[in-house]
Amino acid sequence: MLRGSCLCGGVRYEITGPLRGALNCHCSMCRKAHGAAFRSRAGVKAEDFRWLQGEDLVTWYETSTGTHRGFCRVCGAKLLSRFDFDATWYGLPLGALDDDPRVKPKRHVFVAYKAPWYEITDDLPQHPELPQ
Amino acid sequence: MIRGSCLCGDVRFEISGKLSEASHCHCSMCRKAHGAAFGTYAAAKAAEFRFESGEDRITRYRSSAEVVRAFCARCGSTLPWPRETEPDVVDVVLGVLDDDPGVRPSHHIFVASKAPWYEITDTLPQYATRP
C-alpha cells in the first residue's frame, strides 16, 4: 500500500499494486507542467489506484491529445496523468507520494529537450526521445 | 530579457534584469507542489519582473508562514511568486522559463527532506536546510 496527497491535504489517494517503469522525463511539457527540471513518474494500473478524498478538487488539463494532467485546484500539486487512448493505467508523478515507493527512476527520456540549466550527472541510461 | 510562460500559455512574464541565487530545493513542500524530485528557483528583482498576460489566471496558496506559492488555474504550471520576507525579490521557478536563465543552480537546500527515490549525484554543496 502506497499513499499520496497534495500539498494542502485536500486530495488523498492510495495505490495497492506495484509501480512500473519509473523514469525521469525531460520533455518541455513535463518541465512546464511541473515547473521543475524534469518529471519523475511511474506507471500504475488504474485498478490499483483509488482516490481516498478530494477527487472533485482535481483539475484536469489536456496537454497533448488524449493526455490529461491532474493537479489540485487549491494548492497546485501535480497528482496524476490519465490517457484517453489507454484507460487501464495512469502516469504517477512520484513527488506527491507520502510513502517510499521503493522504486527509483531507471532512465532519462526526452533528453534532447532537457533544460539548459540542468546537467544529468548520474549513470542512468539517457534516451533523446521515448524509446519504444 | 528572460521570458517565461505556463504550459497552456495563459500566463506570461518577463524579467528585464539578471537572475541570481539559483538553487535546487528538496523540501517536502516543493516536492508536493511540483510533484517532482525537487524545485529549482532563482531570484529576480521585483522591479525587473512583470507579468505580460494572465496574472488574473493565477491561483495562490500559502504553504507556510513565509511562502505563498502560485500556479496557473487552467494548466497547473507552478509559477514565480513574490518573496514575502523580502518584497523586492521574486522567486522564479526555472522550469517555466522559455529562455536560458543565464544562471545555474549552485547548491542544494533542504536535503534533509530529500525524496528517498532520488539520489543527488552532482558535486554542488548540499545543505540540510538553508546555508
DSSP 8-class letter at A32:
H
Exposure string of A41-68, with b = 16+ CB inside 10 Å and e = fewer, is bbebeeeebeeeebeebbbebebeeeeb
Domain assignment present for A96 = yes
Q: How far is CA B91 from CA A48, A123, B42, B49, B85, in A?
A: 38, 31, 6, 10, 11
Domain assignment present for B38 = yes
Domain assignment present for B49 = yes
Find the CATH number of the domain harbouring B94: 2.170.150.70
DSSP 8-class letter at B73:
T
Contact call for B7 and A32, based on CB within 8 A: yes
Domain assignment present for B39 = yes
Domain assignment present for A84 = yes
Domain assignment present for B103 = yes
Question: Which residue has 509501480 as its cell numbers?
Answer: A19
Domain assignment present for B78 = yes
State the Cα–Cα distance between residues A5 and A51, nearest whole angstrom. 10
Instruction: Say what the pLDDT of residue A131 is.
Output: 86
Q: How many domains does chain A have?
A: 1
Q: How many domains does chain B have?
A: 1
Res B92 pLDDT > 80? yes
Domain assignment present for A35 = no
Q: Does A93 touch chain B (CB under 8 A)?
A: yes
Instruction: Say what the pLDDT of residue A84 is.
Output: 97
Q: Does A31 touch chain B (CB under 8 A)?
A: yes
Which B residues in the span 83-102 are in contact with A, Cβ-Cβ below 8 Å? 93-96, 100-101
Res B85 pLDDT > 90? yes
Domain assignment present for B118 = no
What band does B66 get if pLDDT is binned at 50, 70 and 90? very high
Q: What is the mean pLDDT of residues B24-34?
A: 98
Res B20 pLDDT > 80? yes
Q: Does B75 touch chain A (CB under 8 A)?
A: yes
Which domain range does residue A77 map to? 2-20+42-102
Q: How far is CA A110 from CA A38, A39, A105, in A?
A: 10, 11, 14
What band does B99 get if pLDDT is binned at 50, 70 and 90? very high
Instruction: Record the pTM.
Output: 0.97
CB of A64 within 8 A of CB of A18? no
CB of B32 within 8 A of CB of A96? yes
Q: Which of A35, A61, A103 lies nearest to residue B95, judging by beta carbons?
A: A35
Contact call for B71 and A71, based on CB within 8 A: yes
Instruction: Say what the pLDDT of residue A23 is.
Output: 98
Contact call for B69 and A76, based on CB within 8 A: yes
Instruction: Say what the pLDDT of residue A132 is.
Output: 76
Domain assignment present for A107 = no
Instruction: Say what the pLDDT of residue B76 is.
Output: 98
Kindly list the residues from chain B whose CB atom is less than 8 angstroms away from the CB atom of residue A22: 117
Contact call for B74 and A61, based on CB within 8 A: yes
Which domain range does residue B91 map to? 2-113
Contact call for B7 and A117, based on CB within 8 A: no
Res B77 pLDDT > 90? yes
Q: How far is CA B37 from CA A31, A34, A47, B13, in A?
A: 12, 10, 26, 25
Q: Which stretches of chain A drop beneath a pLDDT of 70? A: none
Domain assignment present for B14 = yes
Q: How many CB atoms lie within 10 A of CB B91?
A: 20
Long-range residue pairs from A102-106, CB within 8 A, at least 24 positions apart, any chain: A103/A19, A103/A22, A103/A42, A103/B117, A104/A22, A104/B117, A104/B118, A104/B119, A105/A22, A105/A23, A105/A24, A105/A40, A105/B117, A105/B118, A106/A21, A106/A22, A106/A23
State the Cα–Cα distance between residues A60 and A82, nearest whole angstrom. 9
Find the CATH number of the domain harbouring A53: 2.170.150.70
